[in-house]
């Protein structure tokens, strides 16, 4: 197919793509414990139907131990052509407080060319990008294609990592497209070349057998909440830089966001300073970051006059691509032990770790993607980092060291993934699907393969 034909085919497929994204995003496929499992299985079934509609030779759900099923599809490569693995996930983050949404989170709503709803961007847009790109070829794919769509990336995604390690031949490919990132801004093409890793744990502090009256005992009885707050605030200095030994700032060689742009995207209030030192690219993509993501305390509305006997917090650490998550979490835990006040009892548990990723400078597949994205977006892509983590990527790199791993997608920085009012821009979705289809065609050319 010519580039013009591919662009026309994707454009013609967009009404169907939008309707399917609307239906898929209406399924509350939250794979977190405590949420209904039936919608997760319903999303898997719909993804299976969507993959079958592309004309792939083989499509099936495959069990993943301890997790929800992945959906797998494949079509063998024509003689001499490479094979591309396409990845996305059909599970989504919990919606959170419905009152924080301008539209119902699981009733996808189209407003001014943007589709709002949980999962419309992360990562059901990635699924629809793959589906639309494959449909452009009407079953006559120029390369071999394998597709893996998992169902528990947002919670405990390491279960698919174990699946990959046990089934390497099923997923072996020459190039891997991970459609779970996006551009800094709509229409600003970028390829994500680095990901931070992640470590997380829960800390619990105990001081008393039970709550005691703050009037009768306050001032002498040790408050578990006060102890934990002292420990957590000690993790950073007054400037917001990390105080834990062995976690130095890193350097990102590419261009990061401008401060004004970042403040707007992050929603930083007027007069509030950013934290940390170094460039924004350094802080966001190549340095450690420690965030308290949860705290068990009495609510203000339910407060009573009592000294708290126990409290817990969830701590998440983002790790630079070259950092070791296990060493990192050990350093943070040891630091917290050292700053524990008053001899309080402290324990740690529920550990999670995932490695980061640093792409090579680029090879034949990246060159093909550059040409495809330049055609789809009107300018060549630039390299960017991502502060978030996709632990599976590092597993793919270890299993298939010769494969080029390419991260791009329709999740621009304003898409509000993991937050209220998540949305995907439909023009961005079209350009992303077009770029992927053009990439598959470009990769099949002899000049792209060096033959």
pTM of the predicted model over 0.95: no
Same domain, yes or no: 349 and 203: yes
Domain containing residue 127: 3-195+357-444
Mean pLDDT per 10-residue segment, the chain (451 residues): 97 98 98 96 98 97 95 97 97 96 98 98 98 97 97 80 92 96 94 91 97 95 97 97 94 86 92 95 93 93 94 96 92 98 97 85 91 97 84 87 95 94 98 98 75 39
336 contacts 239 by C-beta, under 8 angstroms: no
Same domain, yes or no: 77 and 204: no
Question: Of the candidates 320, 354, 388, which is a domain's last residue?
Answer: 354
**Residue 288 token pair:** 């450690």
442 contacts 433 by C-beta, under 8 angstroms: no
Same domain, yes or no: 350 and 374: no
Nearest 5°: CA angle at 87, between 107 and 52?
70
Beta bridge partners of 146: 74, 85
pLDDT of residue 255: 80
Backbone angles phi, psi at 193, to 5 degrees: -105, -5
pLDDT of residue 380: 95
Same domain, yes or no: 46 and 189: yes
Of 54, 184, 179, nearest to 126 by C-alpha is 179
Q: Is residue 257 part of a domain?
A: no
The whole-angstrom separation of Cα 38 and Cα 44 is 10
CATH number at residue 92: 3.40.630.10
H helix intervals, 53-115: none
pLDDT of residue 388: 74
Same domain, yes or no: 234 and 380: no
**Known catalytic residue at 204:** no
Same domain, yes or no: 159 and 229: no
Count of other CB atoms within 10 angstroms of residue 172: 15
pLDDT of residue 358: 85
Q: Is residue 281 part of a domain?
A: no
Question: Sign (positive/negative) of CA torsion 3, 8, 9, 13?
Answer: positive
**Known catalytic residue at 153:** yes
Q: Is residue 422 part of a domain?
A: yes
Same domain, yes or no: 324 and 207: yes
Catalytic residue (choose from 153, 154, 413, 422): 153
Same domain, yes or no: 338 and 362: no
What's the number of CA atoms in the CB half-sphere (13 Å) around residue 287?
Answer: 21
Q: Number of folded domains in the chain? A: 2
pLDDT of residue 39: 98
**Residue 7 token pair:** 């662009």
Same domain, yes or no: 107 and 125: yes
CATH number at residue 333: 3.30.70.360
Q: Taking phi first (over 0 means left), then psi (-120 to 50 degrees means alpha), and beta for anything else, what does residue 355 get?
A: beta
**Residue 223 token pair:** 């408050």
How does 102-138 read in b/e, with b if 16+ C-beta sit within 10 Å?
ebebbebbeeeebbbbbbbbbbbbbbbbbbbbbbbbe
Q: Is residue 293 part of a domain?
A: yes
pLDDT of residue 448: 54
Question: Of the candidates 302, 328, 354, which is a domain's last residue?
Answer: 354
Same domain, yes or no: 339 and 435: no
Catalytic residue (choose from 7, 91, 161, 436): 91
Same domain, yes or no: 207 and 87: no
């Amino acid at each position: 197919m010519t580039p013009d034909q591919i662009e026309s085919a994707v454009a013609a497929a967009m009404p169907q793509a939008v309707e399917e994204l609307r239906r898929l995003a209406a399924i509350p496929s939250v794979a977190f414990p405590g949420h209904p499992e039936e919608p997760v299985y319903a999303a898997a079934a719909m993804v299976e139907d969507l993959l079958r509609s592309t004309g792939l030779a083989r499509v099936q759900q495959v069990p993943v131990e301890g997790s929800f099923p992945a959906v797998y599809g494949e079509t063998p490569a024509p003689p001499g052509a490479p094979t591309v693995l396409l990845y996305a996930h059909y599970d989504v983050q919990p919606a959170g407080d419905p009152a924080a949404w301008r539209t119902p989170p699981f009733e996808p709503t189209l407003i001014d060319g943007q589709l709002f709803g949980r999962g419309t961007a992360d990562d059901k847009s990635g699924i629809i990008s793959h589906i639309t790109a494959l449909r452009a070829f009407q079953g006559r794919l120029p390369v071999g294609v394998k597709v893996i769509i998992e169902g528990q990336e947002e919670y405990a995604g390491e279960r698919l990592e174990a699946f990959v390690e046990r089934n390497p031949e099923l997923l072996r490919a020459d190039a891997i497209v991970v459609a779970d990132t996006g551009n800094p801004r709509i229409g600003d093409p970028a390829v994500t070349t680095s990901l931070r890793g992640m470590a997380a744990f829960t800390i619990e502090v105990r001081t008393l057998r039970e709550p005691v009256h703050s009037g009768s005992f306050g001032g002498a009885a040790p408050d578990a909440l006060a102890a934990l707050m002292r420990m957590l605030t000690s993790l950073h200095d007054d400037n917001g830089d990390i105080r834990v030994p062995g976690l130095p700032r890193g350097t990102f060689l590419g261009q990061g966001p401008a401060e004004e742009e970042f403040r707007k995207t992050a929603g930083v209030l007027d007069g509030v300073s950013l934290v940390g030192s170094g460039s924004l690219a350094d802080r966001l993509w190549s340095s450690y970051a420690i965030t308290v993501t949860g705290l068990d305390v009495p609510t203000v509305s339910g407060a009573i006059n009592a000294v708290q006997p126990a409290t817990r917090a969830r701590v998440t650490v983002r790790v630079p691509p070259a950092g070791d998550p296990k060493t990192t979490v050990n350093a943070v835990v040891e630091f917290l032990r050292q700053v524990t006040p008053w001899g309080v009892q402290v324990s740690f548990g529920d550990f999670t770790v995932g490695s980061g990723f640093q792409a090579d400078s680029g090879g034949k597949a990246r060159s093909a993607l550059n040409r495809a994205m330049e055609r789809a977006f009107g300018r060549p892509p630039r390299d960017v980092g991502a502060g978030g983590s996709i632990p599976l990527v590092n597993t793919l790199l270890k299993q298939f060291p010769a494969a080029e791993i390419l991260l791009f997608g329709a999740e621009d920085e304003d898409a509000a993934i993991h937050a209220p009012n998540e949305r995907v821009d439909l023009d961005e979705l079209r350009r992303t699907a077009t770029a992927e289809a053009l990439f598959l065609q470009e990769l099949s050319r002899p000049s792209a393969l060096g033959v």
